[in-house]
Amino acid sequence: MRIVYIFELIIPKMTEPAIKAMIQLMDDSDQEVVQMVEDKIRTLGPAIIPILESEWENLSLNPILQLKIENLIHDFQLESMKSKLMHWKQGGAMDLLEGMWIIATYRFPDYSFTALKQEMEQLYFDVWPQIRENLHPMDQVKVLNGVIFDQLKFGANTKNFHAANNSFLNVVLESKKGNPISLCVIYMWIAQKLGYPIYGVNLPNLFVLTYKQKEIQFYINVFNKGLIFNRVDIDNYLAQLNLTPNDIYYNPCSNLEIIRRVLRNLIMAYEKSGDEDYKAELTDLIASLD
Protein backbone atom coordinates (compact mmCIF):
# COMPACT_ATOMS: atom_id res chain seq x y z
CA MET A 1 0.00 0.00 0.00
CA ARG A 2 2.87 2.38 0.80
CA ILE A 3 4.29 2.01 -2.72
CA VAL A 4 0.92 2.70 -4.32
CA TYR A 5 0.48 5.81 -2.17
CA ILE A 6 3.93 7.12 -3.08
CA PHE A 7 3.35 6.72 -6.83
CA GLU A 8 -0.16 8.16 -6.68
CA LEU A 9 1.31 11.19 -4.94
CA ILE A 10 4.30 11.79 -7.26
CA ILE A 11 3.70 10.41 -10.75
CA PRO A 12 0.73 12.57 -11.83
CA LYS A 13 2.82 15.70 -11.18
CA MET A 14 6.14 14.96 -12.87
CA THR A 15 7.57 18.38 -12.14
CA GLU A 16 11.20 19.00 -11.19
CA PRO A 17 10.38 18.94 -7.43
CA ALA A 18 8.51 15.65 -7.96
CA ILE A 19 11.48 14.15 -9.79
CA LYS A 20 13.81 15.29 -7.00
CA ALA A 21 11.47 13.69 -4.46
CA MET A 22 11.67 10.44 -6.42
CA ILE A 23 15.48 10.62 -6.46
CA GLN A 24 15.47 10.94 -2.67
CA LEU A 25 13.32 7.79 -2.46
CA MET A 26 16.17 5.84 -4.05
CA ASP A 27 17.68 6.00 -0.55
CA ASP A 28 14.62 4.33 0.98
CA SER A 29 15.06 1.33 3.29
CA ASP A 30 12.42 -0.61 1.35
CA GLN A 31 14.19 -2.16 -1.66
CA GLU A 32 10.89 -2.67 -3.46
CA VAL A 33 10.28 1.07 -3.29
CA VAL A 34 13.85 1.75 -4.46
CA GLN A 35 13.47 -0.55 -7.46
CA MET A 36 10.11 0.85 -8.52
CA VAL A 37 11.33 4.42 -8.19
CA GLU A 38 14.50 3.72 -10.18
CA ASP A 39 12.48 1.99 -12.91
CA LYS A 40 10.19 5.01 -13.12
CA ILE A 41 13.11 7.45 -13.28
CA ARG A 42 14.63 5.45 -16.14
CA THR A 43 11.43 5.90 -18.17
CA LEU A 44 11.96 9.68 -18.08
CA GLY A 45 15.02 9.43 -20.33
CA PRO A 46 18.14 11.58 -20.79
CA ALA A 47 16.15 14.84 -20.46
CA ILE A 48 16.40 14.61 -16.66
CA ILE A 49 20.22 14.43 -16.60
CA PRO A 50 20.52 18.10 -15.45
CA ILE A 51 18.24 17.35 -12.48
CA LEU A 52 20.23 14.25 -11.60
CA GLU A 53 23.50 16.21 -11.82
CA SER A 54 22.06 18.92 -9.60
CA GLU A 55 21.01 16.35 -7.01
CA TRP A 56 24.36 14.58 -7.20
CA GLU A 57 26.06 17.82 -6.13
CA ASN A 58 23.98 17.81 -2.94
CA LEU A 59 26.66 17.24 -0.29
CA SER A 60 24.10 15.87 2.16
CA LEU A 61 23.57 12.75 0.05
CA ASN A 62 25.18 9.56 1.22
CA PRO A 63 27.81 7.95 -1.05
CA ILE A 64 25.53 5.04 -1.98
CA LEU A 65 22.82 7.35 -3.32
CA GLN A 66 25.41 9.42 -5.17
CA LEU A 67 26.71 6.25 -6.82
CA LYS A 68 23.17 5.30 -7.87
CA ILE A 69 22.74 8.75 -9.41
CA GLU A 70 26.10 8.44 -11.19
CA ASN A 71 25.02 5.12 -12.68
CA LEU A 72 21.72 6.61 -13.86
CA ILE A 73 23.50 9.56 -15.47
CA HIS A 74 25.96 7.25 -17.24
CA ASP A 75 23.16 5.00 -18.49
CA PHE A 76 21.21 7.98 -19.81
CA GLN A 77 24.30 9.40 -21.50
CA LEU A 78 24.98 6.03 -23.09
CA GLU A 79 21.37 5.88 -24.29
CA SER A 80 21.72 9.36 -25.76
CA MET A 81 24.96 8.42 -27.49
CA LYS A 82 23.43 5.26 -28.98
CA SER A 83 20.46 7.23 -30.26
CA LYS A 84 22.70 9.85 -31.89
CA LEU A 85 24.91 7.22 -33.49
CA MET A 86 21.97 5.28 -34.91
CA HIS A 87 20.45 8.51 -36.24
CA TRP A 88 23.82 9.35 -37.82
CA LYS A 89 23.99 5.91 -39.45
CA GLN A 90 20.39 6.03 -40.69
CA GLY A 91 21.06 9.47 -42.15
CA GLY A 92 23.75 7.98 -44.40
CA ALA A 93 26.78 8.50 -42.10
CA MET A 94 27.68 11.48 -44.26
CA ASP A 95 29.71 13.54 -41.77
CA LEU A 96 32.65 11.59 -40.34
CA LEU A 97 33.44 14.40 -37.92
CA GLU A 98 29.96 14.10 -36.42
CA GLY A 99 30.48 10.36 -35.93
CA MET A 100 33.79 10.98 -34.16
CA TRP A 101 32.16 13.61 -31.95
CA ILE A 102 29.42 11.16 -30.93
CA ILE A 103 32.08 8.65 -29.88
CA ALA A 104 33.89 11.34 -27.87
CA THR A 105 30.68 12.01 -25.91
CA TYR A 106 30.91 8.46 -24.53
CA ARG A 107 33.51 9.70 -22.03
CA PHE A 108 33.12 13.46 -22.48
CA PRO A 109 29.33 13.98 -22.60
CA ASP A 110 29.57 17.77 -22.31
CA TYR A 111 31.84 18.11 -25.34
CA SER A 112 29.92 19.92 -28.07
CA PHE A 113 29.98 19.33 -31.81
CA THR A 114 30.39 23.09 -32.25
CA ALA A 115 33.58 23.03 -30.19
CA LEU A 116 34.99 20.17 -32.27
CA LYS A 117 34.19 21.91 -35.55
CA GLN A 118 35.80 25.12 -34.34
CA GLU A 119 39.00 23.27 -33.41
CA MET A 120 39.12 21.53 -36.77
CA GLU A 121 38.39 24.74 -38.66
CA GLN A 122 41.27 26.41 -36.83
CA LEU A 123 43.60 23.62 -37.96
CA TYR A 124 42.45 24.12 -41.54
CA PHE A 125 43.19 27.86 -41.31
CA ASP A 126 46.64 27.04 -39.90
CA VAL A 127 47.35 24.76 -42.87
CA TRP A 128 45.63 26.53 -45.77
CA PRO A 129 47.98 29.58 -46.17
CA GLN A 130 50.97 27.27 -46.65
CA ILE A 131 49.45 25.10 -49.37
CA ARG A 132 50.63 25.76 -52.92
CA GLU A 133 48.62 25.02 -56.04
CA ASN A 134 49.69 23.31 -59.26
CA LEU A 135 51.90 20.79 -57.49
CA HIS A 136 52.06 17.07 -58.24
CA PRO A 137 49.79 15.19 -55.80
CA MET A 138 52.78 13.63 -54.02
CA ASP A 139 54.31 17.07 -53.55
CA GLN A 140 50.99 18.39 -52.25
CA VAL A 141 51.01 15.63 -49.65
CA LYS A 142 54.61 16.39 -48.70
CA VAL A 143 53.71 20.03 -48.06
CA LEU A 144 50.71 18.91 -45.99
CA ASN A 145 52.96 16.55 -44.04
CA GLY A 146 55.37 19.36 -43.25
CA VAL A 147 52.66 21.57 -41.82
CA ILE A 148 50.77 18.92 -39.84
CA PHE A 149 53.71 17.00 -38.41
CA ASP A 150 56.62 19.46 -38.32
CA GLN A 151 54.86 22.74 -37.62
CA LEU A 152 51.68 21.73 -35.80
CA LYS A 153 53.51 18.84 -34.08
CA PHE A 154 50.91 16.10 -34.50
CA GLY A 155 52.35 12.62 -34.09
CA ALA A 156 51.98 9.01 -33.04
CA ASN A 157 51.28 8.10 -29.43
CA THR A 158 53.77 5.25 -29.34
CA LYS A 159 54.16 5.29 -25.54
CA ASN A 160 50.46 4.62 -24.89
CA PHE A 161 49.38 3.09 -28.17
CA HIS A 162 46.40 1.20 -26.72
CA ALA A 163 45.11 4.00 -24.47
CA ALA A 164 41.39 4.71 -24.87
CA ASN A 165 42.05 8.45 -25.13
CA ASN A 166 43.71 7.87 -28.52
CA SER A 167 40.21 7.31 -29.92
CA PHE A 168 38.62 10.47 -28.51
CA LEU A 169 39.21 13.28 -30.98
CA ASN A 170 39.02 16.07 -28.39
CA VAL A 171 41.89 14.50 -26.42
CA VAL A 172 43.94 13.93 -29.57
CA LEU A 173 43.45 17.54 -30.65
CA GLU A 174 44.63 18.74 -27.25
CA SER A 175 47.60 16.39 -26.84
CA LYS A 176 48.42 16.20 -30.58
CA LYS A 177 49.14 12.50 -30.03
CA GLY A 178 46.92 9.71 -31.30
CA ASN A 179 46.61 6.28 -32.86
CA PRO A 180 46.62 5.67 -36.63
CA ILE A 181 42.90 6.12 -37.18
CA SER A 182 42.42 9.28 -35.10
CA LEU A 183 45.40 10.94 -36.78
CA CYS A 184 44.08 9.82 -40.17
CA VAL A 185 40.66 11.35 -39.45
CA ILE A 186 42.23 14.74 -38.65
CA TYR A 187 44.58 14.57 -41.65
CA MET A 188 41.83 13.42 -44.03
CA TRP A 189 39.36 16.09 -42.88
CA ILE A 190 41.89 18.87 -43.53
CA ALA A 191 42.96 17.33 -46.87
CA GLN A 192 39.39 16.98 -48.13
CA LYS A 193 38.58 20.55 -47.10
CA LEU A 194 41.57 21.59 -49.21
CA GLY A 195 40.02 19.67 -52.11
CA TYR A 196 42.38 16.69 -52.08
CA PRO A 197 40.87 13.26 -52.93
CA ILE A 198 42.23 11.57 -49.81
CA TYR A 199 40.29 8.77 -48.11
CA GLY A 200 40.64 6.12 -45.40
CA VAL A 201 41.79 2.55 -46.10
CA ASN A 202 41.11 -0.36 -43.74
CA LEU A 203 44.41 -2.25 -43.70
CA PRO A 204 44.75 -5.05 -41.13
CA ASN A 205 46.39 -3.74 -37.92
CA LEU A 206 47.03 -0.34 -39.50
CA PHE A 207 44.69 2.34 -40.76
CA VAL A 208 46.13 4.41 -43.63
CA LEU A 209 45.01 6.91 -46.26
CA THR A 210 44.97 6.83 -50.04
CA TYR A 211 45.20 9.63 -52.55
CA LYS A 212 42.95 8.38 -55.36
CA GLN A 213 42.04 10.33 -58.48
CA LYS A 214 41.66 8.94 -62.01
CA GLU A 215 44.94 7.22 -62.89
CA ILE A 216 46.79 8.42 -59.77
CA GLN A 217 46.74 6.41 -56.56
CA PHE A 218 49.23 6.15 -53.74
CA TYR A 219 49.04 5.66 -49.98
CA ILE A 220 49.91 7.68 -46.88
CA ASN A 221 50.98 6.29 -43.51
CA VAL A 222 49.88 9.09 -41.19
CA PHE A 223 51.14 7.20 -38.14
CA ASN A 224 54.64 7.49 -39.66
CA LYS A 225 54.55 11.24 -40.38
CA GLY A 226 52.77 10.86 -43.70
CA LEU A 227 55.15 8.37 -45.29
CA ILE A 228 54.13 7.80 -48.92
CA PHE A 229 54.01 4.23 -50.25
CA ASN A 230 52.44 2.27 -53.12
CA ARG A 231 50.36 -0.78 -53.92
CA VAL A 232 53.37 -3.11 -54.02
CA ASP A 233 54.14 -2.15 -50.43
CA ILE A 234 50.62 -3.24 -49.46
CA ASP A 235 51.15 -6.52 -51.32
CA ASN A 236 54.32 -7.13 -49.31
CA TYR A 237 52.63 -6.13 -46.06
CA LEU A 238 49.76 -8.59 -46.64
CA ALA A 239 52.22 -11.32 -47.56
CA GLN A 240 54.04 -10.83 -44.24
CA LEU A 241 50.68 -11.30 -42.47
CA ASN A 242 49.87 -14.35 -44.62
CA LEU A 243 46.72 -12.63 -45.86
CA THR A 244 45.17 -12.93 -49.30
CA PRO A 245 44.90 -9.61 -51.16
CA ASN A 246 41.40 -8.13 -51.08
CA ASP A 247 39.96 -4.97 -52.63
CA ILE A 248 39.13 -3.55 -49.18
CA TYR A 249 42.87 -3.37 -48.42
CA TYR A 250 43.51 -1.08 -51.39
CA ASN A 251 40.43 1.11 -51.79
CA PRO A 252 38.61 3.79 -49.74
CA CYS A 253 36.32 2.63 -46.96
CA SER A 254 33.10 4.26 -45.76
CA ASN A 255 32.63 6.58 -42.81
CA LEU A 256 30.60 3.87 -41.10
CA GLU A 257 33.49 1.43 -41.42
CA ILE A 258 35.81 4.02 -39.89
CA ILE A 259 33.51 4.50 -36.90
CA ARG A 260 33.21 0.74 -36.43
CA ARG A 261 36.99 0.47 -36.38
CA VAL A 262 37.28 3.28 -33.84
CA LEU A 263 34.81 1.41 -31.61
CA ARG A 264 36.80 -1.82 -32.01
CA ASN A 265 39.94 0.05 -30.95
CA LEU A 266 38.11 1.32 -27.87
CA ILE A 267 36.90 -2.17 -27.00
CA MET A 268 40.49 -3.43 -27.22
CA ALA A 269 41.72 -0.53 -25.09
CA TYR A 270 39.21 -1.23 -22.33
CA GLU A 271 39.92 -4.96 -22.54
CA LYS A 272 43.61 -4.33 -21.97
CA SER A 273 42.92 -1.97 -19.07
CA GLY A 274 40.44 -4.37 -17.46
CA ASP A 275 37.42 -2.06 -17.78
CA GLU A 276 34.92 -4.81 -18.50
CA ASP A 277 31.82 -2.62 -18.12
CA TYR A 278 33.00 -0.19 -20.80
CA LYS A 279 34.01 -3.10 -23.00
CA ALA A 280 30.56 -4.70 -22.67
CA GLU A 281 28.75 -1.43 -23.42
CA LEU A 282 30.77 -0.76 -26.56
CA THR A 283 30.48 -4.36 -27.72
CA ASP A 284 26.71 -3.98 -27.53
CA LEU A 285 26.93 -0.66 -29.35
CA ILE A 286 29.00 -1.96 -32.26
CA ALA A 287 26.63 -4.91 -32.57
CA SER A 288 23.73 -2.49 -33.04
CA LEU A 289 25.68 -0.73 -35.81
CA ASP A 290 26.29 -4.05 -37.56
Give pLDDT tens digits for 11-25: 445 688 888 888 888
Long-range contacts of 50-53 (CB under 8 A, 24+ apart): 51/16, 51/19, 51/20, 51/23, 52/23, 52/76
Output DSSP code: residue 204.
Answer: T
Q: Are strands 216-221 and 227-229 parallel, antiparallel or unpaired?
A: antiparallel
CA distances from 82 to 6, 103, 151, 182, 232 (A): 32, 9, 37, 20, 40
CA atoms within 13 A on the CB side of 236: 5
Q: How large is the average pLDDT for residues 36-60?
A: 82
3-state secondary structure (DSSP) of residue 148: helix
pLDDT of residue 10: 46
Is residue 132 a contact partner of residue 178, using CB atoms and an 8 Å limit? no
Q: What is the pLDDT of residues 220-245, one digit of tens each?
A: 999 999 999 999 999 999 999 999 99
| Distance separating alpha carbons of residues 130 and 140, to the nearest angstrom | 11
Segment 187-221, tens digit of pLDDT:
999 999 999 999 999 999 999 999 999 889 999 99
Name the band, by pLDDT with cuts 50, 70 and 90, for residue 133. confident
3-class secondary-structure state, position 253: coil
Predicted confidence at residue 20, as pLDDT, reads 83
Q: Are 68 and 42 in contact (CB under 8 A)?
A: no
Please state, in angstroms and rounded to a whole number, the distance separating the CA atoms of residues 196 and 15. Answer: 53
**147 alpha carbon, distance to own chain's centre:** 25
Report the pLDDT value the prediction gives residue 59, as an integer from 0 to 100.
57
List all residues 6 or more positions away from 90 whose beta carbon is below 8 Å from its beta carbon. none
Q: Is the pLDDT of residue 71 over 80?
A: yes
Q: In whole angstroms, what is the distance from residue 166 CA to residue 181 CA?
A: 9
pTM above 0.85, yes or no: yes
